[in-house]
A and B are shown apart, each in its own frame.
Chain A
Amino acid sequence: MATSTATKNSAKPVKRQENDTVTVRFCGDSGDGMQLAGTQFTNSSSIFGNDVATLPDFPAEIRAPAGSLPGVSGFQINFSKFDIHTPGDRVDTLVAMNPAALKMNYKDVVDGGIILVNEDAFTKTNLQKAGMDVNPLDDGTLRDYRVHKLPMGKLTTEAASDFGLNTKGVNRCKNFFALGVVCWLYERPLKPIEEWIGKKMGKTPAVADANTAALRAGWNYCDTIELFPQAYRVAKAKIAPGKYRKITGNEATAMGLATGARRAGKKLFLGSYPITPASTILETLASMPQMGVKTFQAEDEIAAICSAIGAAFGGACAVTSTSGPGIALKGEAMGLAVMTELPLVIVNVQRGGPSTGLPTKTEQSDYLQAMWGRNGECPMPIIAASTPANCFDMAVEAMRIAVQYMTPVILLTDGYLANGSEPWRIPQSKDLPQFPVKHAVSNNGEAFMPYKRDERGSRPWAIPGEKGLEHRIGGLEKQSVTGNVNYDPDNHQAMVNERAAKVANVAESIPDLKVEGNPEADLLIVGWGSTYGAITTAVERANSGGKKVAHAHLRYLNPMPKNTGEVIKRFKKVIVPEMNMGQLIIKLRSDFLVDAKGLNKVQGKPFLVSEIEEAIESALK
Chain B
Amino acid sequence: MPVEPLKPADFASDQEVRWCPGCGDYAILAQVKKTLPALGIARENIVFVSGIGCSSRFPYYMNTYGFHSIHGRAMAVASGLKMARPELQVWVVTGDGDGLSIGGNHLLHAIRRNVDMTVLLFNNRIYGLTKGQYSPTSEVGKRTKTSPKGAIDFPLHPISVAIGAEASFVARTLDIDLKHMGYVLERAAAHKGTSFVEIYQNCNIFNDGAFSYATDKNTKEDTRLILEHGKPLIFGKDRNKGIRLNCTDPEIVDLGEGVSEDDLLFHDEKAAEPSLAYLLSRMHHPEFPEPFGVYRAVERPCYEYVLDEFCKSSDPPASAEDAEIDALLNSGDTWVVD
What residues of A have a CB within 8 angstroms of the CB of B332 in the complex? 245
CA of A244 to CA of B333, assembled, Å: 9
Query: A267 within 8 Å of B by Cβ?
Result: yes
Query: B284 within 8 Å of A by Cβ?
Result: no
Q: Which residue of B lies closest to A482 (CB)?
A: B14
Is B336's CB under 8 angstroms from A303's CB?
no
Contact (A485, B60) CB under 8 Å given A244-B334, A464-B88, A467-B44 = yes
Closest beta carbon of chain A to B329's beta carbon, Å: 5
Is A244's CB under 8 angstroms from B65's CB?
no
CA of A316 to CA of B329, assembled, Å: 22
Contact (A314, B88) CB under 8 Å given A291-B313, A472-B67 = yes
Is A241's CB under 8 angstroms from B318's CB?
no
CA of A399 to CA of B7, assembled, Å: 41
Query: B42 within 8 Å of A by Cβ?
Result: yes
CA of A150 to CA of B82, assembled, Å: 59
Tally B residues with Cβ within 8 Å of A. Answer: 67
Is A484's CB under 8 angstroms from B15's CB?
yes
Closest beta carbon of chain B to A251's beta carbon, Å: 9
Closest beta carbon of chain B to A245's beta carbon, Å: 5
Is B321's CB under 8 angstroms from A430's CB?
yes
Contact (A473, B334) CB under 8 Å given A299-B105, A310-B84, A318-B80 = no
Is B80's CB under 8 angstroms from A269's CB?
yes
Contact (A465, B44) CB under 8 Å given A266-B316, A292-B313, A294-B311 = yes
Query: A468 within 8 Å of B by Cβ?
Result: yes
Closest beta carbon of chain B to A334's beta carbon, Å: 10
Query: A476 within 8 Å of B by Cβ?
Result: yes
Is A314's CB under 8 angstroms from B44's CB?
no
Instruction: Encode contact with A along B24-66: 1 for CB under 8 Å, 0 otherwise.
Output: 0000000000000000001111110100100000011011111
Contact of B44 among A243, A246, A466 (CB under 8 A): A466
Query: A198 within 8 Å of B by Cβ?
Result: no
Is A309's CB under 8 angstroms from B311's CB?
no
CA of A288 to CA of B329, assembled, Å: 11
What residues of B have a CB within 8 angstroms of the CB of A240 in the complex? 337
CA of A264 to CA of B65, assembled, Å: 23
Query: A349 within 8 Å of B by Cβ?
Result: no
What residues of B have a CB within 8 angstroms of the CB of A290 in the complex? 313, 324
Closest beta carbon of chain B to A74's beta carbon, Å: 23
Contact (A429, B85) CB under 8 Å given A243-B335, A313-B67 = no
Is B322's CB under 8 angstroms from A464's CB?
no
Contact (A314, B85) CB under 8 Å given A262-B325, A291-B328, A426-B334 = yes
Give the contact stretch, choosing among B71-79, B120-128, B209-217, B255-263: B71-79
Query: A376 within 8 Å of B by Cβ?
Result: no
Contact of B320 among A255, A316, A430 (CB under 8 A): A430
Query: A469 within 8 Å of B by Cβ?
Result: yes
What residues of B have a CB within 8 angstroms of the CB of A266 in the complex? 316
Q: Which residue of A lies closest to B58 (CB)?
A: A472
Q: Which residue of A lies closest to B44 (CB)?
A: A467
Is B311's CB under 8 angstroms from A299's CB?
no
Is A315's CB under 8 angstroms from B84's CB?
yes
CA of A434 to CA of B318, assembled, Å: 9
Closest beta carbon of chain B to A421's beta carbon, Å: 12
Contact (A302, B76) CB under 8 Å given A255-B328, A294-B311, A426-B329 = yes
What residues of B have a CB within 8 angstroms of the CB of A485 in the complex? 15, 60
Query: A276 within 8 Å of B by Cβ?
Result: no
Closest beta carbon of chain B to A254's beta carbon, Å: 10
CA of A306 to CA of B68, assembled, Å: 12
What residues of B have a CB within 8 angstroms of the CB of A258 in the complex? 325, 328
Query: A445 within 8 Å of B by Cβ?
Result: no
Query: B143 within 8 Å of A by Cβ?
Result: no
What residues of A have a CB within 8 angstroms of the CB of B316 in the complex? 261-266, 292
Closest beta carbon of chain A to B306's beta carbon, Å: 11
Contact of B80 among A311, A428, A466 (CB under 8 A): A311
CA of A300 to CA of B85, assembled, Å: 22
Is B105's CB under 8 angstroms from A303's CB?
yes
Query: A587 within 8 Å of B by Cβ?
Result: no
Is B335's CB under 8 angstroms from A244's CB?
yes
Contact of A429 among B65, B78, B81, B322 (CB under 8 A): B322
CA of A261 to CA of B105, assembled, Å: 30
What residues of A have a CB within 8 angstroms of the CB of B329 in the complex? 245, 255, 259, 426-427, 429
Contact (A316, B77) CB under 8 Å given A429-B325, A432-B325 = no
Query: A47 within 8 Å of B by Cβ?
Result: yes
Closest beta carbon of chain A to B304's beta carbon, Å: 9
Q: Is the interface of A mostly helix, strand, loop or mixed?
A: mixed
Tally A residues with Cβ within 8 Å of B. Answer: 81
Is B335's CB under 8 angstroms from A306's CB?
no
CA of A312 to CA of B73, assembled, Å: 15
What residues of A have a CB within 8 angstroms of the CB of B320 in the complex? 429-430, 432, 434
Instruction: Encode contact with B along A331-356: 1 for CB under 8 Å, 0 otherwise.
Output: 01101100010000000000000000
CA of A408 to CA of B133, assembled, Å: 35
CA of A315 to CA of B322, assembled, Å: 21
What residues of A have a CB within 8 angstroms of the CB of B13 in the complex? 472
What residues of B have a CB within 8 angstroms of the CB of A93 in the complex? none
Interface residues of B in 297-338 (CB under 8 A from A): 307-308, 310-316, 318, 320-326, 328-330, 332-338
Which of B45, B62, B66, B328 has the largest number of chain A CB atoms within 10 A?
B328
CA of A175 to CA of B326, assembled, Å: 35
CA of A420 to CA of B76, assembled, Å: 33
Query: A24 within 8 Å of B by Cβ?
Result: no
Interface residues of A in 455-501 (CB under 8 A from B): 463-476, 484-485
Contact (A294, B307) CB under 8 Å given A267-B313, A306-B69 = yes
What residues of A have a CB within 8 angstroms of the CB of B328 in the complex? 255, 258-259, 288, 291
Closest beta carbon of chain A to B194's beta carbon, Å: 14
Is B59's CB under 8 angstroms from A472's CB?
yes
Query: A271 within 8 Å of B by Cβ?
Result: yes
What residues of B have a CB within 8 angstroms of the CB of A303 in the complex? 73, 75-76, 79, 105-106, 109
Is B109's CB under 8 angstroms from A309's CB?
no
Contact of A291 among B59, B65, B324 (CB under 8 A): B324
Closest beta carbon of chain B to A522's beta carbon, Å: 38
Contact (A299, B106) CB under 8 Å given A241-B337, A243-B335, A307-B80 = yes
Query: B70 within 8 Å of A by Cβ?
Result: yes
Contact of B330 among A192, A243, A465, A472 (CB under 8 A): A243
Is A336's CB under 8 angstroms from B70's CB?
yes
Q: Which residue of A lies closest to B325 (CB)?
A: A429
Is B70's CB under 8 angstroms from A475's CB?
yes
CA of A212 to CA of B35, assembled, Å: 68
CA of A17 to CA of B43, assembled, Å: 76
What residues of B have a CB within 8 angstroms of the CB of A265 in the complex? 316, 318
CA of A239 to CA of B73, assembled, Å: 50
Query: A436 within 8 Å of B by Cβ?
Result: yes
CA of A95 to CA of B333, assembled, Å: 26
Query: B83 within 8 Å of A by Cβ?
Result: yes
**19 additional A-B residue pairs with CB within 8 Å, beyond A298-B109, A476-B68:** A49-B337, A240-B337, A243-B330, A263-B322, A264-B316, A292-B315, A298-B76, A302-B73, A302-B76, A306-B69, A306-B73, A430-B320, A434-B320, A464-B45, A470-B66, A472-B59, A474-B59, A474-B67, A474-B69
B interface vs A, CB < 8 Å? 13, 15, 42-47, 49, 52, 59-60, 62-71, 73, 75-85, 87-88, 105-106, 108-109, 307-308, 310-316, 318, 320-326, 328-330, 332-338
Closest 6 pairs between A and B when the two form their complex, measured CB to CB: A474-B68, A307-B80, A310-B80, A292-B313, A306-B76, A472-B66
Write 22 A-B pairs (CB below 8 A) sorted by A numbering.
Answer: A244-B335, A245-B329, A245-B333, A261-B316, A262-B316, A289-B310, A293-B311, A300-B105, A303-B106, A311-B83, A311-B84, A314-B85, A332-B70, A336-B69, A429-B323, A429-B325, A464-B44, A469-B44, A472-B65, A472-B66, A474-B69, A475-B52
